[in-house]
Structure 1
């Protein structure tokens, strides 16, 4: 398969100007490969390039929407176990050093080394089928796979898969990153903002159009919405606008452009099964059975959010179970009946109306986490559990959950690419850093691997549905709902497209411009 460089937009572009974007909290660092939050992907994706990327102006991410980036072309060889990339000549890093295929090999040496060279490696399980990546010359890199994997190109196209330079140590990438992308980092101040400046030597001639991008950190969502309506910002944070807030924006700023779409983010319950009494599987099951998913959906989104398994639900998701497939799963049907079973399990464990279980319910200090956490605490009361909300800042939240330094948490998990090879291995794979519940099942691992290698999409779909159904039946990691969210921008922002099945992959901003 060959990739061709797509032409730029046909409209009359305008060079110069500053794009002003709101940000909801402080990113832990600028090192995309070491972080697990959209707070990092949005402001820093434009510093970098990938080998390939999802077309920034095709709303739905798919294998068909992948276009070249640092790779000029690519081809599958050896029965699908070799993926060979021809890389571009004339590309330079922000510090002037030349990019070569050796940088591709160095990037994947980092990713394949576990946490030996990176502070943490949250997507290491994406690459478990990659044996090695070699630089065959300055302009050719080859991925050597253990088995065929049709989805590999989609993983490489994610905003989470930039190419890093060989000559810059990983610790520098956290605060002083060097990329090949359309913008350079000018300033990164915790709790204040991030400023990017135009890369004058960007290898895509004539791009970017913007002189600067400025992200301003405003922790309070109400303040963010009011300042956008007042015209102080060109864009909201791309996942910030709920269904009720969208109504307000449309009423108060009718010229603003907004896209309501699937976020690719599930709200889920994570429980530390090593922390007593949650080492008792009956208690863990009781917590899952008390969930009234429709109540979450109605309160938070006026019915827009959707029940689902681990895969993004249809029609926007390509792999998710239909509503009919969910009906027989524990906690998805009759809530009253499920809670009766939950209370019986709690009584077996020694709890009841006169002996209630008191716990902390941890969550991240942003509204999209805190709002459902409050509903969760209310629902836990039905099964003799009294929860106290523990709010944790983003800078330390992921360290806490990675280290299992929590008991019960209301968590949001983004699936960066709508593909089972991301969702299954990342959320349920044995040893995965983002498998917060510590679930590990050898039979499931074999199922994950089998669907990954299946070349027939229809057969793979059936395998994915069956596996997802089994995971939810086991209550391996209770998925409460998949969220929908809107992003809005002012009419002077031109040539922006928000992807409809992921919030992680369309922040290159290289051909966006503003007209003031």
Structure 2
């Protein structure tokens, strides 16, 4: 049996097993609902809960110390305004397929409960749960997927270009409707990104705030606003109607925004009466009635609420530097603190621009001896203690330990603090040390590193101050320039930054968006011009060096396989090559994200690697969070 046939067989077997289990569950279970919904059923405002759920509801299984919950209560969260969309978006993760709770597991069922590939990996058939309904009670069908594709993804007035996971060999996918619950996605060749990037990461309701990606949208509601479907429609009206803050827009998520207007200080989300998931006992989720989002002034406002005990549960914008203050006030505030390691391979990360316009610096930055020298000139242990309270891990690897692509033996390769070795390597790179102790190019011209940064995070600024001090001490003149993000990002993407800085997130599932592994696009600041070349298929940018091109070829192979084992092998090859060559220069990573949790707020995992790619805390199933005393929490 071929690998592809074996893989398809396994997928089908797993899907059949899940289907049979769900069918038995659905047949034998008496479903329960929140008291507030039972009152509406009694009043004739809603159909019974069994009629609101799909034939085979999604079941949230308990893990570790989790328990069946009770209904009621208000979840209080801090919110920094309209641009802080993910204060809401991260707790309503309901895509077509789901990232697993355990990162080593495969992608899980979501709105689709079955999926399978044809033998040559060019067609993916999705079967959505029968009986799914939008929050207004209208049926969810594959027409909502086709509407997203035809009215949004391929309409250049809304989406400038089709997302890469839906194009293979430059050809966009084709959709074939089988029935109301089944659709086949057809590709020009094997598509190794469809399940992970397309359906687990980008597979939510469009537009997911400012991310502007998705895989479905409520046709029955939105077509009245779209100019291609209605003579009274306009793109401006469509955008407003489709946006997540629109209180009239139907959703498939556990909660929907029910109270919001521009300038509000309180946004409210309420339970979706047609939510499609239940717990192991057949209780329709979510447990919690409402979520209140209190407008605050920046991260300081978030932490003021947290320290005072006014947040029910929140990880977003909770400051590590404030952790000791949180601990001091925990008893009075009736909360406790968790520390989730982040899927940030390195907090303060640097990239020497190997496609920089100045040929002298370009040649230097392409020299591994130079990059190794600058790495060994960083005292990561001291950096960890002074900036991260000793809570991080000195490291250079570009992924985190929970990633399937992690390689233990290269965790901190080329990362030891060794100024003498740095001097040897600088000499190997062809630099000459002068009487003043500073290095210059071999022709005597000055060597001056300009490190540019966006002034967004204090820990990066503090780290760069120390790193520039160590680099100057080793004899490489270094200056740090900080600017606003709206100035910095365009400069970095345009290949104008000599040494760029940011954090290395995406450390859990790096192949979803491998910008830190190799020059993938203009955001790959180790060589933005080379990344532009790769992104454009050679139409723009500059052709990369042979060693960088080799990794691009590996990623192309990754995209053309649907076999998970082979994808993991390729991912590890790419991570090893990127890390050993220090294309991304990491410093201290795995810095924990503090989480404030009220003592009566349950089912929050103590062990979780946080990452925005998996929509933390979305993979934790926030719909099954609950208060021990339910309605007492208002």
Which TM bucket (shorter chain)? 0.7 to 0.9
- Residue in structure 1 matched with residue 35 of structure 2 by the alignment: none
Please say which structure displays the higher CA radius of gyration.
2
Unaligned runs of 5+ in 2: 1-10, 23-57, 207-216, 227-234, 279-283, 432-438, 532-547
What's the C-alpha RMSD, in Å, of the aligned pairs?
4.2
Q: Determine which of 291, 302, 312 is the counterpart of 1:234.
A: 312
Residue 459 of structure 2 corresponds to residue 372 of structure 1? no
Task: Give the 3 Å change call, closer, same or farther, for CA 500–203 of structure 1 in structure 2.
Answer: closer
Offset of 1:348 from its aligned partner?
1.0
- Residue in structure 2 matched with residue 510 of structure 1 by the alignment: 623
Q: Determine which of 31, 37, 59 is the counterpart of 1:6.
A: 59
Residue 348 of structure 2 corresponds to residue 348 of structure 1? no
- Residue in structure 2 matched with residue 143 of structure 1 by the alignment: 185
Offset of 1:403 from its aligned partner?
5.3
- Residue in structure 1 matched with residue 269 of structure 2 by the alignment: 196
Offset of 1:211 from its aligned partner?
1.4
Task: Give the 3 Å change call, closer, same or farther, for CA 454–407 of structure 1 in structure 2.
Answer: same
Q: Determine which of 88, 93, 100 is the counterpart of 1:43.
A: 88
Q: Determine which of 352, 377, 383 is the counterpart of 1:296.
A: 383
Unaligned runs of 5+ in 1: 29-38
Preserved contact between residue 51 and residue 156 of structure 1 (Cα < 8 Å): no
Residue 330 of structure 2 corresponds to residue 253 of structure 1? yes
CA separation in 2, counterparts of 1:377 and 1:111?
Answer: 46
Structure 2 counterpart SS, 1:496: coil
Task: Give the 3 Å change call, closer, same or farther, for CA 401–189 of structure 1 in structure 2.
Answer: farther
Offset of 1:84 from its aligned partner?
1.3
Task: Give the 3 Å change call, closer, same or farther, for CA 462–369 of structure 1 in structure 2.
Answer: same
Preserved contact between residue 75 and residue 292 of structure 2 (Cα < 8 Å): yes
Preserved contact between residue 270 and residue 290 of structure 2 (Cα < 8 Å): yes
Once the two structures are overlaid, the 10-residue window that deviates more, 400-409 or 11-20, is: 400-409
TM-score, structure 1 as length reference: 0.77
Structure 1 counterpart SS, 2:94: coil
- Residue in structure 2 matched with residue 491 of structure 1 by the alignment: 599
Preserved contact between residue 52 and residue 156 of structure 1 (Cα < 8 Å): no
Structure 1 counterpart SS, 2:313: coil
Residue 421 of structure 2 corresponds to residue 337 of structure 1? yes
CA separation in 2, counterparts of 1:61 and 1:188?
Answer: 38
Preserved contact between residue 356 and residue 497 of structure 2 (Cα < 8 Å): no
CA separation in 2, counterparts of 1:115 and 1:284?
Answer: 39
CA separation in 2, counterparts of 1:92 and 1:192?
Answer: 31
**Highest RCO, 1 vs 2 (Cα 8 Å, sep ≥ 6):** 1
- Residue in structure 2 matched with residue 53 of structure 1 by the alignment: 98
Preserved contact between residue 405 and residue 571 of structure 2 (Cα < 8 Å): yes
Task: Give the 3 Å change call, closer, same or farther, for CA 359–106 of structure 1 in structure 2.
Answer: farther
Structure 1 counterpart SS, 2:623: coil
CA deviation profile, 1:456-493 (whole Å, cap 9, x unmatched): 76665554333323223444333334333132311122
Offset of 1:282 from its aligned partner?
0.8
Offset of 1:50 from its aligned partner?
0.7
TM-score, structure 2 as length reference: 0.64
Offset of 1:306 from its aligned partner?
4.5
CA separation in 2, counterparts of 1:390 and 1:378?
Answer: 16
Structure 2 counterpart SS, 1:381: helix
CA separation in 2, counterparts of 1:473 and 1:113?
Answer: 40
Preserved contact between residue 391 and residue 592 of structure 2 (Cα < 8 Å): no
Preserved contact between residue 109 and residue 133 of structure 1 (Cα < 8 Å): no
Offset of 1:365 from its aligned partner?
1.7
CA separation in 1, counterparts of 2:463 and 2:304?
Answer: 23
Offset of 1:264 from its aligned partner?
1.2
Offset of 1:320 from its aligned partner?
1.4
CA separation in 2, counterparts of 1:111 and 1:430?
Answer: 29
- Residue in structure 2 matched with residue 68 of structure 1 by the alignment: 109
Residue 293 of structure 2 corresponds to residue 214 of structure 1? yes
Preserved contact between residue 75 and residue 84 of structure 1 (Cα < 8 Å): yes
Structure 1 counterpart SS, 2:140: coil
CA separation in 2, counterparts of 1:473 and 1:260?
Answer: 29
Preserved contact between residue 131 and residue 139 of structure 2 (Cα < 8 Å): yes
Once the two structures are overlaid, the 10-residue window that deviates more, 46-55 or 482-491, is: 46-55
Offset of 1:218 from its aligned partner?
4.1
Offset of 1:256 from its aligned partner?
3.2
Q: Determine which of 170, 173, 189 is the counterpart of 1:132.
A: 173
CA deviation profile, 1:189-246 (whole Å, cap 9, x unmatched): 689775433334434473332312315444345x64453232122234346353x644
Aligned residues: 488
Task: Give the 3 Å change call, closer, same or farther, for CA 410–193 of structure 1 in structure 2.
Answer: farther
Query: What does 1:337-486 align with in structure 2 at a 5 Å threshold?
Result: 337-338=421-422, 341-342=425-426, 345=431, 347-348=440-441, 357=448, 359=450, 361-382=452-473, 383-392=475-484, 401-402=492-493, 406-415=497-506, 418-424=508-514, 426-428=515-517, 432=521, 434-436=523-525, 437-438=527-528, 439-440=530-531, 441-451=548-558, 461-486=568-593
CA deviation profile, 1:19-51 (whole Å, cap 9, x unmatched): 22235x5664xxxxxxxxxx6544214456310
CA deviation profile, 1:303-338 (whole Å, cap 9, x unmatched): 5324143222x3x232112235753x4x55745423
Structure 1 counterpart SS, 2:622: coil
Task: Give the 3 Å change call, closer, same or farther, for CA 461–333 of structure 1 in structure 2.
Answer: farther
